[in-house]
Amino acid sequence: MTDLHGKVAIVTGAGRGLGRSMASALVQAGAAVTVAARTGAELDAFVDEAKAAGGQALACPTDITDEAAVERMVAATVETFGRVDILVNNSGIVASTPLLEQSAEEWDRVVATNLRGTYLATRAAGRHMAAQGSGKVVNIASNFALQGVAAHAAYSASKAGVIAFTRSMAVEWARHGIQVNAIAPGYFATPLNAELRADADATAKVTRAIPARRMGRPEELEPWLLLLAGSASDFMTGEVIVIDGGQSVR
């Protein structure tokens, strides 16, 4: 039920970290995958690796906050592979700034990437999914959307918006045969938090707040992505899967 041969996926924020890991999992499951991010060189490297392993992939450098660029990303996918079956909205940025010190520009940048980008990509891909009567949208939220975290108001609010958006679209698009679900990860060891992990004291502070006493490994997210991208989730929509080592239920 996680065999994705014949399916076409788009993964945003796929240049590195969780996005790259999830794109790789989709390729290994048989899907043709468009990888999108601002970093073209990293995308090209991914495509080379996918093709060397016998998979199909397309690099599409994209500013996820740019409506025209997002439309081009989806159009390029359909032109190359013929359809869109799976969308993984993974693009996101973090700002660790106390609210009283945060500029409106930084707030807008976080919300534009994390929430507006999710909306733009979902709308563009959703048109094709609705026309074909099937599709899977997997939105990457965060456990920060489920708990109070100091100095992360913009990030937490944007990811909470992603969860609300997920539930609204699940209801709206169920009649089109489209399932819309979300994954809310906690701390995973990725390039995004490399600086934090390089600081032993900071790492210890973070892991003390996680009942599992460690960060997640990117490959631990992959089975859940494949569940939501494959036929196993055909009767599952509007759900949020939290994968954070128990951090949000302390």
Q: How many residues does the chain have?
A: 250
Which residue reads 């919300």 in tokens?
111
Which residues lie closer than 8 Å to 123 by C-beta, 6 or more apart? Answer: none
Comparing C-alpha atoms, which of 194, 81, 174 is closest to residue 130? 174
E strands, 38-85, are 57-61
Catalytic position from the list 46, 144, 155, 165: 155
Count of CB atoms situated within 10 Å of the CB of 43: 25
Residue 33, beta-bridge partner list:
9, 57
The rounded distance, in Å, linking the Cα atoms of 166 and 164 is 5
The rounded distance, in Å, linking the Cα atoms of 149 and 52 is 42
Whether the Cβ atoms of residue 81 and residue 56 lie closer than 8 Å to each other: yes
The rounded distance, in Å, linking the Cα atoms of 35 and 19 is 9
Which residue reads 């993984």 in tokens?
88
The rounded distance, in Å, linking the Cα atoms of 4 and 200 is 40
Whether 119 is catalytic is no
Return the active site residues: 155
